[in-house]
Each structure stands twice: as structure tokens, then as C-alpha cells.
Chain A
Amino acid sequence: MPSTFDTVAGIIAETCDIPRDKITPESHAINDLGIDSLDFLDVAFAIDKAFGIKMPLEEWTQEVNDGKVSSDQYFVLQHLCENIDALVAAKAA
């Protein structure tokens, strides 16, 4: 079974036409990979479908905009994957 990161990286590579080898756990989806907000909707849709979750993007974005957290917390892929795992676990609980 592929790891969460492998699945997410595959989605980003396919959806945003970014070479898979440029996508690392340390990549920031926006700052490093240059994914814009429209492409991120596609990524979010694919992630939601793949994991059977609803990522709370609005809540995350609000927290970043309010300065409560750094965007790294949600958009560096390693952290994004941790958040996805937490959502999957919460759904299963």
C-alpha cells in the first residue's frame, strides 16, 4: 500500500504536471512547487476522493491568514500528509 506521501505526490505530479522527482516531503505546495489556488482545488478534490475525507481548507487558510500558524503547517507536504493521516484516523474512529 503506498504511503500517504506517495499518494499525495502522485496526485500533485499528475494534476499539476510537475515532475514526480521534484516533489519531496519538504516541498511547500505553493512556495516551492508553485501550485496556484485553482490547481490546488484539483489537488484537494483528488486527495479528498483518494482518502475519503474533506480537508478543512477554509479553516486552514483562515488560520494562516490570521497569522495563527505558518503556511508550512498545512502546505509543506510532510505536514499536509500528517494532517491527512489525522483526518483519516478521525474518520475511522
Chain B
Amino acid sequence: MRLEYFQMVDRVSALDPEARTISADCTVPEASPIFEGHFPGYPILPGVLMIETMAQTGGWLVMGLLRFSRMAFLAQVKEAKMRAFVAPGQVLRAEARLLHDGSGYAVATGRIVSGEKPVAEAEITYRVMPFPNETLRQELLKVARRVAVPAELFDE
């Protein structure tokens, strides 16, 4: 994870198009300016960044299933629960499952675990729409390759 760059997913470890599930490795950095404020003397990963981690993980799933023809924008978070504190250096696994592939939207459940211990969960709704420009699409494709989204999900 590079928190200050909003790069929450290190590597997609599994993406199953049939089951519509994804799993991703996310290791919290030992040091980040974010920990200077959250909190001084007691650094923990902000809950909003746990939500972002689940949203990005589900986003890779939604966009991968659409072969990156469309962008998934975070629209809604429901039933978010932060069940445990997360410390610098902690190894996390983020998972998501697509609940519904609607017209112009998608709904997924996300969760984060540390080992087998539940850390966070939420139901996430995305607006799914054409990429606003080709620059964004190309940049996202670069990131998708870096985090090892399966190659067969790229059309190009």
C-alpha cells in the first residue's frame, strides 16, 4: 500500500470471473505521513482508508469483468464496519464479491481480513460509466498490470 498515493492494493492474488470474486494482498507500510496525524503516538490505519481499500478491490473486480471498457466510481457505502485496529506493517487481504451487475451500476460486498481475523466489511455501490477520458483509462490499465489483474481480462 502507498497510502498517500491512494494505492491500496499491492497485488491481486485471485480473480474468478465465474464466481465474481476477487482477493488482493495489501500490506500496510511501516511509515507514512498519514500516521503522523492518525494518530500521534498511536499510528493506526484510518477506517476511511479501509473503506477505500475495499472499494478499490471491488473496483478492480467490476472493471476486470467489464474488460476495462468502463470505469467504476464509488457511489455509496453501506453497513461499513471497522472491527479491528490495523497497525503499520500489518499484512491484510482484501476480498470482494459482486452482488449485482446492474445497468450503469454495480453492487459488491467487500471485506478485509488479517490472517483469518475480520478487520472490516461493507456493501459498496459503484456507478459504472464510460471512462471520462482515455488518459485515465490508460493510467488505470498501467496500475491494473502492476497489481497483476489477470492478463486475460485485458482486451488489448
Contacts and interface: CB of A to CB of B under 8 A. Distances in A.
Contacts of A55: 102-103
Contacts of B36: none
Interface residues of B, number: 11
B125 A45 contact: yes
B100 A57 contact: no
A61 B130 CA distance: 14
A69 interface: no
Interface in A37-93: 38, 41-42, 44-45, 48-49, 54-59, 61
Interface string A27-44: 000000000001001101
Interface in B104-129: 104-105, 107, 125, 127
Given A45-B105, A45-B125, A57-B104, 4 more contacts: A38-B75, A41-B125, A54-B101, A54-B102
Interface of B: 75-76, 100-105, 107, 125, 127
